[in-house]
Amino acid sequence: MLLVLFKKWLNLTGRETRASNEEVAPERLVELIQNGNDELRNELIRQYHPYLLKTTSRFFRRYIDPKRDDAYSVALAAFDEAITGFSAEGGRLFLGFAETVIKRRLIDYVRQENRHASTIPYSAFDTDTEETAGTINRIEVAQSMDAYRLERSADERKLEIAALSEELALYGVTFDDLVTSSPRHQDSRAVLLRMGRRLASEESMFRFLCDKKQLPIKELCQAEAVSRKTAERHRKYLIAVSLIAYGTYPFLQEYIGMDREGKGERS
């Protein structure tokens, strides 16, 4: 949709249109938006919904429900603010700038919400960074975030489990199914966790899963050198692991060997 609007805005035809079929850099789109294309602005915000959701969830290290969580609205407004305030001078990338703005607005939000934050001034520890337009008090932010997470950690896990349950239902999988289909041996579990994470990291395979609601058995087994019988026997388990790995489930990702940032593998 963004590409369609981009072509429409520039009125590209022929050779220019063929050249524009490649992915349009967000910096170029933002430049057009700043010149008055509100339609393109709305579409850019809509298309980057997953980016906003993941950035906000990683900031709070919990699942963010965009329909019920005020933090998402804060991130959404910050992204719109970043579109207006971005400048490509010096080779700056828009998404990096947007992430900085989002995090600063979320920090402000946490400070306002955390009514039990320490009142002791730590101005001596204020620091400026190249990417920020003001000062971030790192100790105050850390204390606020720690208190905030302690108060909400139990509810956060419940929200993630509820969201995952809804997502699993689209594949005909329940948590009871996962109990019965989970591997019983540690070695087998390690192999299947690795397969599930691989499925989430390979865009073509994960897209097949989402579209067909089936595992890409052949490709997955070849990539991991695992028998087809093993993958089919643990189909529901693999689906669950891949959905957790791909989605915004920071707490649940710990249980499948990923760090709290949703990246890599924990030892």
Which residues share a beta bridge with 136? 127
Domain count for the chain: 2
What is the C-alpha to C-alpha distance for residues 244 and 173, in angstroms, rounded to an integer?
A: 13
Query: Distance (Å, rounded) from C-alpha 235 to C-alpha 173?
Result: 10
Look at residue 17 and tell me if it is in a domain.
no
Greater confidence (144 vs 109) lies with 109
Please check whether residue 248 is in contact with residue 57, taking contact to mean a CB–CB distance below 8 angstroms. Answer: yes
**Domain-located, residue 145:** no
> In this predicted structure, what is the pLDDT of residue 19?
39
Average pLDDT over residues 243-258: 84
Residue 203, domain member (yes or no): yes
pLDDT tens for 88-117 read 877 788 988 898 899 888 888 887 776 544
Tens digit of pLDDT for each residue in 168-222?
999 999 988 888 888 888 888 999 999 999 999 998 999 999 989 999 999 999 9
In a domain, 159, yes or no: no
Lowest mean pLDDT among 11-25, 136-150, 189-203: 11-25
8 A C-beta contact, residue 60 and residue 151: no
Final residue in a domain of this structure, among 117, 151, 178: 117
Structural domain contains residue 18: no
> What is the structure's pLDDT at 238?
95
Structural domain boundaries, residue 70: 26-117
**The pLDDT value given to residue 38:** 80
- Flag whether pLDDT at 134 surpasses 80: no
For residue 177, is it within any domain? yes
Look up the pTM and report it.
0.50
74 located within any domain: yes
**Distance between CA 99 and CA 93 in Å, rounded?**
10
Specify if 263 maps to a domain.
no
Q: Which two tokens mark 251?
A: 């707490």
How far is Cα 95 from Cα 203, in angstroms, rounded to an integer?
20
The amino acid sitting at 97 is F
Q: At what angle do helices 138-169 and 235-246 cross, to 10 degrees?
A: 150
User: How many whole angstroms separate alpha carbon 97 and alpha carbon 112?
Assistant: 23
- Reading the block at residue 207, the tokens are 């897209």
